[in-house]
């Protein structure tokens, strides 16, 4: 009798975790948004529409990189000298940090139109993310959804990211790359119904 009870307990120990595992899934939500057809198509369109801004940004970035390179080279040479101390290197380090901050301020206005357009595209897709995630979870019978980095290890079959992408492709087949004049990141696109927050990984 004890052997039968032990065997039954052992069987339960192997079956129950398997059943529980089938109800847990993982999903990379940011990747799901970026893998949608709407996002990919919009990205291609932005490369054409915003080409002047992209070219100007790249040219300015290259110019600024050339300006700061002598400062970085001098700092690295000074740091490599025997006996160099942090106190001696600090003025050069601070100068490089200040230069980098100034570079960011010069580059930001050039990149802002493209960044705003991309944020608008993402917002349009995210509006349907909660619905898409719930549909994918239902189809895969997932009760608990985790972020990939929240799981110690998981079988690839537990990843429902592709299922979420498929649902988003149905709900948001296209996305505009032209935000309204008064639109701000995080604001629902015109005519959109605010969505509930997507399930978060634990």
Each residue's pLDDT tens digit, 48-84? 999 999 999 999 999 999 999 999 999 999 999 999 9
Each residue's pLDDT tens digit, 11-38? 444 444 554 445 899 999 999 999 999 9
Distance CA 55, CA 198 (A): 36
Q: Which pLDDT belongs to residue 22?
A: 54
Q: By the 8 A CB rule, do 160 and 25 touch?
A: yes
Which H or E run includes 179? none
Mean pLDDT across the stretch 77-95?
95
Strand segments, DSSP code E, in 81-152 are 144-146
């Amino acid at each position: 009798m004890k052997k039968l009870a032990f065997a039954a307990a052992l069987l339960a120990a192997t079956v129950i975790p398997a059943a529980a595992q089938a109800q847990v899934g993982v999903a990379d939500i940011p990747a799901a948004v970026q893998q949608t057809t709407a996002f990919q198509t919009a990205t291609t369109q932005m490369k054409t529409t915003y080409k002047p801004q992209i070219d100007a940004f790249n040219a300015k970035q290259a110019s600024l990189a050339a300006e700061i390179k002598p400062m970085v080279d001098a700092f690295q040479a000074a740091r490599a000298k025997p006996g160099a101390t942090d106190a001696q290197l600090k003025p050069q380090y601070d100068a490089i940090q200040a230069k980098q901050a100034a570079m960011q301020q010069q580059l930001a206005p050039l990149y802002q139109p493209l960044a705003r357009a991309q944020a608008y595209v993402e917002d349009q897709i995210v509006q349907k993310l909660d619905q898409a995630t719930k549909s994918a979870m239902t189809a895969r019978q997932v009760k608990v959804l985790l972020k990939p980095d929240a799981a110690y290890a998981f079988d690839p079959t537990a990843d429902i990211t592709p299922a979420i992408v498929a649902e988003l492709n149905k709900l948001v087949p296209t996305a505009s790359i032209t935000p309204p004049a008064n639109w701000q990141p995080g604001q629902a696109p015109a005519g959109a119904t605010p969505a509930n927050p997507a399930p978060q990984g634990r």
